Amino acid sequence: MLKRLSLAIVLACVAASVPARGEESMSAASLYGEPEVMQFKDGKPAAFSMQFDDSTLTQAKFAIPEMNKRGLVGTFFINPDSSRYQANKETWEVICPKFGHELANHTMKHTGAKDYEEADHEIGACAHLIWKLYPNESKLRPFLRGGGTTWNVSREEMQELRDKYFLFSGFAGPRRVGICDERGTGPIKAYAKAALDEGKWGQVGFHGVGGDWISTSEENFIELLDYLVANRDKIWVATTGDAYRYWQEYEAVREVTLSQATESGFKVAIECDEEKVKTYGRPFTELYDEALTVRVRVPDSWSRFAVTQGDEEKAYEAVAVEGKPYAQFDLRPNIGPATVTLSAE
C-alpha cells in the first residue's frame, strides 16, 4: 500500500564515496528514514467521494448545508441552463466554491446535442463557467454526459470535446454506487465503511436527497455524514477531482529523493513520470497540481518543522506512527525540491 523507495542506499553510497566528509554525511543521512509517498492524503488509510448529479433542489436546500455544517466536501455535476440550477444559483456559484465543493461538468441543459456545434456549446460553456468560478484551481474536471441523453456526434468527436475541455470521466475512479433507497442500496455508510475496511477509494452518487428523483432519505444521508465525521482521521473525504489527481500522480511516481541531510533538516523532491498520465497536451504541472503526502522517519527530538516549496511555506507537527516520530507533509511533484527545516522550540 505504500510506495517504498530505496533512498537510504543511495545516500549511503554518496557518503561512502566522499571519504573526507564521509563520517559527517553518513551520520546526517542516517538521521532520516526512506521517504514514502502515501497512497492517500495525510496518510489516511482510505478515501471516499460523494458525487451529486443534476443540481437538484434537495441538494441545494438540504445536502449542501448539512455537509457545510460538518466541513465535508462533495462533487456536484451541474446543469447551469436548467431551472433547477437557476433557482439556486447562489448556492452553486458562491457557496460551493467557498466551502470547497467541486463543481463538475454535466453539460448546460442535460439534453444531449443534435450536432457537433451544439455538443461543443453544451460541454464547452459548462467548462468555461466552472473554470471562471475556480480561477486558481486545476482545469482538469470530471465529466458525465447525462443519463438518457442522445448525442448526435461520433465517438471520436465526443472524445475530441472531452480533450478540448480537459475532462475525465466521472466514472474513472472506483465503481460509483448510485444511491437509491427504492432500489435497495441500503445504508449508505456501509459503502464508506467498506472503503475503510479495504483501504481503498470508495465513491457514491446521488440525485435526490430527501426528495426529487433516484432519492435517498434525509436520515440515511445524515447517518453517512456523521460516520464520515466520526472517522475523519481515517477516511480522506475528497472531491472526485482531488482524489483523481492524487491517484494519477501517485501511480506515476518514479522516485522520491531526500538530499542535503543535516541535523536541522533536508531537501526532498518527488518526480512523476509524465508519460503515465494524460496531460491533454499541457505541461504536467498545469493540470496535475495536487500535493502528495510524504512521510519520513525523523529523530526523536523533532516536533515542529516547516516545509518550503516554491514560494509556499507551511508549518507542521511531527506525527507518531507506532510510537515513532515522522515528518508528514504535502509535496507537489515535478516542481523541484522542498526544504524541510526543524523549527526552533
Binding site for Zn ion (CB under 5 A): 53-54, 146
Our CB check for Zn ion shows the closer of 53 and 93 to be 53
Pick the closer one to Zn ion by CB: 98 or 175.
Answer: 175
How far is the C-alpha of 316 from the C-alpha of 196, rounded, in Å?
Answer: 25
**Residue 34 or 54 with smaller CB distance to Zn ion:** 54
HEC assignment per residue over 299-342: CCCCCEEEEEECCEEEEEECEEECCEEEEEEEECCCCCCEEEEE
The nearer residue to Zn ion, 142 or 146, going by C-beta atoms, is 146
The β-bridge relationship of strands 75-78 and 46-53 is parallel
Tell me the closest approach of the beta carbon of residue 185 to Zn ion, in angstroms: 17
Residues 106, 170: Cα–Cα separation, whole Å: 10
Rounded CA-CA distance 317/330 in Å is: 13
3-state SS assignment for residue 40: coil
Q: Which residue is nearest to Zn ion (CB)?
A: 53
Q: Which is nearer to Zn ion, 6 or 83 (CB)?
A: 83
Calculate the CA 110 to chain-centre distance: 26
CB 331, min distance to Zn ion, A: 37
Of 33 and 178, nearer to Zn ion (C-beta) is 178
- DSSP assignment of 174-217, as one string? SPEEE--GGGT---THHHHHHHHHHTSEEEEEESEESSSSSEE-
Candidates 330, 144, 309, 316; CA nearest to 240 is: 144
Taking the C-alpha atoms of residue 310 and residue 332, their distance in angstroms, rounded to an integer, is 10
